[in-house]
Amino acid sequence: MQTLITQGIKISVETFYQPQYSEPIKKKYIFAYRITIENQSQYTVQLLRRHWYIVDAASNLREVEGEGVIGKQPILKAGERHQYVSWSHLITDIGKMYGTFQMVRQLDGRFFTVIIPEFKLIAPARLN
């Protein structure tokens, strides 16, 4: 698990290869990832946007940007957490993802950026 804290917001990431949806012969590798966002600050915050960078072993770079996460813009009071699962596909059996969340502090409307730690996407067969 990869973890990073930015301005009191802790982001943890776990990854899972999805063999039932992957088709290596067709260069289709599917990975799920679970993100846990923990508000360790003293402020109520809201996640507004996400910005992902997805890189495969062939050096292809994709960017994904948009509002919220899986259709939600969660509000987290001090001590609360939000968890979600999403997925990504690669054309190679190894790659990585990293990015940022744009957040806002409810008290004063101050925007800030939270770093999502870089994490690897690796098909288990690659480790043999």
Tens digits of residue pLDDT in 12-51: 999 999 999 999 999 999 999 999 999 999 999 999 999 9
Question: How many CB atoms neighbour CB 27 within 10 A?
Answer: 14
Q: What percent of the chain stands above pLDDT 70?
A: 98
Q: What is the mean pLDDT of residues 116-121?
A: 97
Q: Which two tokens mark 73?
A: 């813009």
Specify whether domain 2-123 bears CATH 3.90.190.20. no
Report the first-to-last Cα separation within the chain, whole angstroms.
Answer: 20
User: Does the pLDDT of residue 71 top 70, yes or no?
Assistant: yes
List b or e across 58-95, with b for residues whose CB sees 16 or more CB atoms inside 10 angstroms: eeeeeeeeeebbeeeebebeeeeeeeeeeebbbebbeb
- What pLDDT, on a 0 to 100 scale, did the predictor assign at position 7? 96
User: What pLDDT score was predicted for residue 104?
Assistant: 98
Residue 126 confidence (pLDDT) = 67
Identify the pLDDT of residue 1.
84
Q: Give the chain's mean pLDDT.
A: 95
**What's the mean pLDDT in 59-77?**
95
Determine the pLDDT at residue 78: 97
What are the residue boundaries of the structural domains of the chain, listed by start? 2-123
